[in-house]
A and B are shown apart, each in its own frame.
Chain A
C-alpha cells in the first residue's frame, strides 16, 4: 500500500441506480482515495460498469435512468441541481473498453478536449505532455499530424485515448475494462502506465480480469448483483477476503 494520505476524492453515499424498473446499483457506499488506484471487480452484470459510468454522469445519456443517494466529488454532489455534466467530465475523465480514437490526426485527437474547453495556452506543449504521460510520445512524435488515430496499433490507440483524457488535466481517470481488447504486451504497457499515472491522478478501474486488479490496484471493491460486497486494500482482498462471496468469486468457484 502507498503512503499517500488517504483522502476520498470520490465518495458514493447510499448510491442506487435504476435502468427503468431494473435496479443495477444498490445503495453503494464507497470512497475512492486520492492518487490511489481503486479496482472494481465482479461478474458480468454486477453493476461495476454502471457504477463507474455514474462517476462522470455518462448514464445520463441513457433514457430511463434514475438515481438516488449521492456521489460526491471533493464533497460536491455531482448529481446536484445545476451541476453541468460536461464540467464533471472535465475533472473526471473516462477511458473505455475499446479504444475509440477519432478519425483525426494523433495531435487533434489529444487536442480535442482542450479545444472544446476553449484552452488558450500552448496547445502543442500540452499535447506533448499528455502523450508523454500516456507513454506514447516517443512512438508518435514524428507523425503527430501525418498519422491518424486509426493508423496506430490497438495498444497505441488505447494510450492515445488515455492521452486525450489526460490532456484536460483531470483529477480522476476512470477506466472501464481498458485492456480487454488488447494483447498481453499492450496490456502490460497500460498496466505500467496506470501505476505511473497514480502519482498524479486518481484512478478507478473496472476489470473482469482479477489478476489485473491484483497487479495494478491499491484498493479493490467487489460487487455482486448491484451491491458492494467487500471493499479493502487489494492485498487483503486477494489473500484473506472477509466475505465468503468475495472468496468464492476470486478463487474462481463462483456459480
Chain B
C-alpha cells in the first residue's frame, strides 16, 4: 500500500465527520427532550454545544482543504473529500436548527404546553434515525441504504403537516395559544429542514458510492 499518510488522514476525516454527525444527532435529541420536559438547563447545554459543532466543522473543512491542496486526490478519494466538505456543512446547519429549537425552549421558560407533544418527538426520532442510517451508509459506501434513509423524509414531512394543522386549529380556537403555537411550528419546521439536510447527506453517499449526483429531495410516491 502506498500513500499511507494520505490514507490515514482521509480515514481520520471520515471518522471525524461521523463523530460530528453523532454530536448533531445528540443535539437534535437533546433539544426535543428539553422541549418535552421543559428543561431550560438542558436547552442551554444544547445551545452552547452548537459552538463546538461549528468549530469542528471549520476544522474539518481546513483539513479537507489541506489534503486537496497537498495530495491532489482523484476518483473515489476526491469524491469522498468533497462529500466530507458537503456533509460537514449540512451537519453544521442541522446543528443550527437544533440550537434554534433549544433557544425556543429557553424563550418559552416554564410556561405550560398548549398540547401534549407527540408528533414533534416522533419527528425528532425519525430525523436522528435517518441521520444515523445516512452516516452508516457513508461508512459502508451503501447507496441503497442511503436512498432508503432519504425516503423517510416523506414521513417527516407528513408529520410536519400534521403538526401544522393541529397548531392552526388550536390558534383558531384560542388566540392566546398563538405565541407558543408559533414557537412549536418553528420547532417542527426546524426538524423538517433537518430531515431535508439529511437527504443531502444521503445524496453525497450515493455520489461517493456510485459517482452520480442524484436529487433525493423529491417527494416519494
**Which residues from chain A sit less than 8 Å from chain B, CB to CB?**
210-211, 214, 238-241, 246-247, 250-255
**Which residues from chain B sit less than 8 Å from chain A, CB to CB?**
1-3, 6-7, 72-79, 211-212
- In the complex, A240→B76 CA distance in Å? 7
- Known A239-B79, A255-B2; contact A250-B74, beta-carbon cutoff 8 A: yes
Does A253 contact B3, Cβ atoms closer than 8 Å? Answer: yes
Does B2 contact A238, Cβ atoms closer than 8 Å? Answer: no
Does A210 contact B74, Cβ atoms closer than 8 Å? Answer: yes
Does A211 contact B75, Cβ atoms closer than 8 Å? Answer: no
Q: Can you list 13 A-B pairs with a CB-CB distance of less than 8 A?
A: A210-B74, A214-B74, A238-B74, A239-B78, A240-B75, A247-B75, A250-B74, A251-B73, A251-B76, A251-B77, A252-B2, A253-B1, A253-B7
What is the total of A-B residue contacts with beta carbons within 8 Å?
Answer: 38
- Known A239-B211, A240-B211; contact A251-B79, beta-carbon cutoff 8 A: no
Which of B2, B7, B72, B78 is close to A254, meaning CB atoms less than 8 Å apart?
B2
- In the complex, A221→B7 CA distance in Å? 26
- In the complex, A64→B23 CA distance in Å? 67
Does B75 contact A241, Cβ atoms closer than 8 Å? Answer: yes
- Known A239-B211, A240-B211; contact A250-B2, beta-carbon cutoff 8 A: no
Give the chain B neighbours of A238 by CB distance below 8 A.
Answer: 74-75, 78
- In the complex, A250→B212 CA distance in Å? 19
- In the complex, A254→B74 CA distance in Å? 13
Which B residue sits closest to A236, measured CB to CB? B211
- In the complex, A254→B2 CA distance in Å? 7
Does A253 contact B74, Cβ atoms closer than 8 Å? Answer: no
- In the complex, A253→B77 CA distance in Å? 11
Does A211 contact B72, Cβ atoms closer than 8 Å? Answer: yes
- The listed residue with most A CB atoms (<10 A of its CB), out of B74, B76, B79, B212, is B74
- In the complex, A254→B75 CA distance in Å? 14
Minimum CB–CB distance for B12 against chain A, Å:
17
Give the chain B neighbours of A246 by CB distance below 8 A.
Answer: 75
Minimum CB–CB distance for A74 against chain B, Å:
34
Give the chain A neighbours of B212 by CB distance below 8 A.
Answer: 240
- In the complex, A255→B1 CA distance in Å? 7
Give the chain A neighbours of B1 by CB distance below 8 A.
Answer: 253
- In the complex, A241→B77 CA distance in Å? 12
- In the complex, A250→B77 CA distance in Å? 10
Does A247 contact B2, Cβ atoms closer than 8 Å? Answer: no
Which B residue sits closest to A246, measured CB to CB? B75
Give the chain B neighbours of A241 by CB distance below 8 A.
Answer: 75
Minimum CB–CB distance for B206 against chain A, Å:
12
